[in-house]
Structure 1
C-alpha cells in the first residue's frame, strides 16, 4: 500500500486520551498519528487523519510531578478541534459517528490505585462511551485500546465480548511484540512444540509487568497447538521469588539465557537474579509452564527465552529512548486496523495478558497465593505481521 499524502480522503479517527503531556502515550503515539513519523529513512504523513481530540485531564499531576499539557497546542497547530466529551469527539460536534476509527489512550494521568496496586484507568469507560455513540447511530468503526484492555479482567472480557457481538474490529496491546529484535528476526518458530518459557524485564508492577507478559505471549502463542488459555497464576516476591529460581520452579537455565540476550555478562546476570523483585508463574491449559521475571533496576530492557524439543530461542526486544521510535510500529498497526477494518493480530493476545496480569496483581497482594482461573481463551497466532521491527535491522541498542 502506498503512503498516504495529506489528502482529505484519508480515513479519519477520534483520538481519546486521559492526558496529553510530553512523552505520554498520547504524545509518542498520538502525535505520530497527527504529524507523521520517520519511516524507512524519511518522514511520512500518517495514513489516517486525526479529526478530533478529547483529553480528560489537562496538565495532570503524577508521581513525577505536574506535567504541562501539550495536546491543545498540537491540536491547534494542526487544525484539530478539541471536544469536551467523547461523544462529541466521535461525532465531530454532532450526533452520530463521523469518524472511521477511534483511538483510546487510557494511560498516564492522575487516577487512583486500588488495594491490589492496580491503577484505575478509565479504559472501559472510554470504550463504553465510544460504543454508545456507535449504537445510537448504527455505525460501528474500529477501536484501538492502548496497552492492556482494562485494569481488571471482568471489564476486559466485557469489552471483548461487546466488540465481538457488535462486529467492532478491536486491537490492543504493547509495543514490545512489535519492536526490533536482537538478534534480528528472532521469534519462536510457529507450530513448534514448546516446553518452557521465561521473559524478563523491569519497572513498576502492573504498568511494566504487562510489557513482560506481552513479550512472553508473542512467542508462547506460536507454539504447537496454538493458544488455548491459562489454568493458574501465582506471583512470588522477594525471597520467595529468588527461591523459585533456586528450586527450579523457574527454569534457571532459560532465565540465564534471557538475561544473556540483554547483553549482561556473568556478574551482571548474577546481580539481576539476586535483585529479582517478583516472578509471575503461569501454568497454561496445555501444560506449558512459563515465568515473567521482573528484575527491578538491574536490567533496562525486555527479553525472552523459550525451549522445546527442537532447541532454544532467545532475543531482546529493543526499545528506544528519545524519540521513542518503537512507537512507530504501533502507529503502523493502528493505521492498518482503520484502513482495513481488520485487526492485524488477534486482540485475544491482550485479552489473555490482561487476565494474567489481573490475577498476578491479586496474587502479589495475597502474598503469593495461587489464583486458579481458568482463562479459556483460544486463538491462533499470525505467522507474520507487516510493518514491525521484527525483521528490521536494529536502529538503536541501549
Structure 2
C-alpha cells in the first residue's frame, strides 16, 4: 500500500480523538522484557498500578489493554501483572494491536525496547530491536489503513539510518510520534529552562554510567535545552568522543568547557568529594559542533556523580543557565511519571508535546560519537546530521515538583 492509498483509506493523515471527555484511550504495550526495575516496569507499571505504583490514584487516564513481550526472563513480571490487572498477553505484535481480531483495535502504542538479553556490537551498543518492532507495528497500520500515536522509549535505534527511517515512516503514514529519555522532563532544581529564542554559544552536560546506555540520556538532557536557541535546531556538523586523559585535557584546553563544567557540577546532589581525576577511572566526553556555531560537550564521569546537570551560556546573561535534572533513585522513579504525563499528552491530543526530531538527532549524535571512538577518537564530520532542522516547543514540559519523604509524588 502506498502513502496515497493509505491516506485515502484513513480519510486523514491522523485519526486521533483529541477530546479528553471520551472513553480512556486503549493502549498496546510492545515490550522487550518486563522485570523489576526495567523500563517496562516503571512505564507500563504506572498505567497498571498508578503513578506511585501502589495501586492507588492518581492513574494515567489511558489504559493498557494488551501486551507483547519478546523475552520472558526468570524475573519476569508480565505474566503476574497480566493476571492481576486483566491485561491479555499476545504472542505477536500484530495480535497485540488487533486484540486478536481483524482490525486495528487500539488508540496508541507504547514501544519499550529497553532491557533484555541482546547482543552487543563492536561499538558496545546493545542491539535492541526497536526498529524491527516498530516495523511490525507500522505493518499493522499499513494493512488496515489507519494509524495511531506511538511512543518509543529511549533512542529510536542504535543505528542512525534506522532512527531516521522510523521518523520518515511516521511522516509517510501520518501518525504522531514521541520518543526519548525521562531526563529532559524530570523535576528540575532549580525549575529553569533556557530562554526561548535567545542566542546560545556553549553548553555542557554531566552524567555518569555507560557510553551507550547513559550517553543517550545525557545527550537528551543537553539537547532539550539547546534546541530552544535562536533559529531553532540547525543540525550537527561534527562529533568527537574523547576518553581518559584526553577528556581532562579537553576541559583544561577550552575555557568555556571549564567554566560551564564548574557551573553545572555545582548543581549536583551526588558529587563525590575528592579529585575527579582520582575518582573517575575512565572519563569520557562527546564534543559536538553545531551548524550555527554552538559548541557543546556531554560528559560521562562515573565515580564523580550519579545525576544529570546542565549549564548553558545564553547571550546577555551574566551567569549560565544551569540546573539539575533530578531523577528519583528508587521506586516509584518519579521521573518516569513525568515521562508518562507527556506520553499521555500524545495519546489524549494526538500531538507530541515536543518534537521527535530531538530524539532522532540525539540517536545520531550517539551513534557517530561511538563511531569516533572506534576510529581512534577521530573527529567525524556528520553531513547526515547537518540536515536535521527543527524548532523545539516554547513551552517546557519538565516536572516542577518532586516527591515527599515517603517517595510519592507531590503534585
TM-score normalised over the length of structure 1: 0.91
Aligned partner of 1:19 among 21, 25, 33? 33
Secondary structure of 1:82's counterpart equals: coil
- Check 1:356–1:165 CA distance in 2 against 1; reply closer, same or farther (3 A cut): same
CA contact (8 A) 1:222 1:381 kept: yes
CA contact (8 A) 2:279 2:303 kept: no
CA drift at 1:378: 1.1
Deviation larger for 242-251 or 317-326: 242-251
Could you tell me which runs of 5 or more consecutive residues in structure 2 were left unpaired when the two chains were aligned.
1-19
CA distance in 1, matches of 2:48, 2:272: 45
CA drift at 1:38: 3.7
Aligned partner of 2:65 among 28, 51, 68? 51
CA drift at 1:247: 1.2
CA drift at 1:154: 0.4
C-alpha deviations, 1:280-320, integer Å up to 9, x for none? Answer: 00000101000001111211101000113322111111000
CA distance in 2, matches of 1:118, 1:176: 20
CA contact (8 A) 1:256 1:269 kept: no
Aligned partner of 2:392 among 381, 392, 398? 381
CA distance in 1, matches of 2:177, 2:170: 7
CA distance in 1, matches of 2:351, 2:280: 44
Secondary structure of 2:157's counterpart equals: coil
1:168 aligns with 2:175: yes
CA distance in 1, matches of 2:275, 2:394: 32
Secondary structure of 1:104's counterpart equals: strand
Show the counterpart of 2:230: 224
Show the counterpart of 2:357: 348
CA distance in 1, matches of 2:323, 2:362: 20
CA drift at 1:37: 1.4
Superposed CA RMSD: 2.2
Aligned partner of 2:50 among 36, 39, 43? 36
CA contact (8 A) 1:182 1:394 kept: no
Secondary structure of 2:184's counterpart equals: coil
TM alignment of 1:75-224, pairs within 5 A = 75-183=82-190, 185-224=191-230
C-alpha deviations, 1:360-386, integer Å up to 9, x for none? Answer: 111111221112112111111112145
Could you tell me which runs of 5 or more consecutive residues in structure 1 were left unpaired when the two chains were aligned.
60-66
Show the counterpart of 2:329: 321
Paired residues in the alignment total: 381
CA drift at 1:239: 1.3
CA distance in 1, matches of 2:300, 2:49: 35
Deviation larger for 236-245 or 246-255: 246-255
Aligned partner of 2:248 among 242, 248, 270? 242
- Check 1:320–1:373 CA distance in 2 against 1; reply closer, same or farther (3 A cut): same
CA distance in 1, matches of 2:280, 2:120: 28
Secondary structure of 1:361's counterpart equals: helix
CA drift at 1:31: 0.9
Show the counterpart of 1:280: 286
Show the counterpart of 1:63: none
- Check 1:172–1:266 CA distance in 2 against 1; reply closer, same or farther (3 A cut): closer
Secondary structure of 1:111's counterpart equals: coil
Show the counterpart of 1:64: none
CA distance in 1, matches of 2:374, 2:102: 44
CA contact (8 A) 2:272 2:305 kept: no
Show the counterpart of 1:295: 301
CA drift at 1:163: 0.2
CA drift at 1:393: 5.2
CA distance in 1, matches of 2:69, 2:160: 25
1:367 aligns with 2:376: yes
TM-score normalised over the length of structure 2: 0.88
Secondary structure of 1:379's counterpart equals: coil
Secondary structure of 2:263's counterpart equals: helix
Structure 1 segments of 4+ aligned residues over 2 angstroms from their partners: 263-276, 391-396
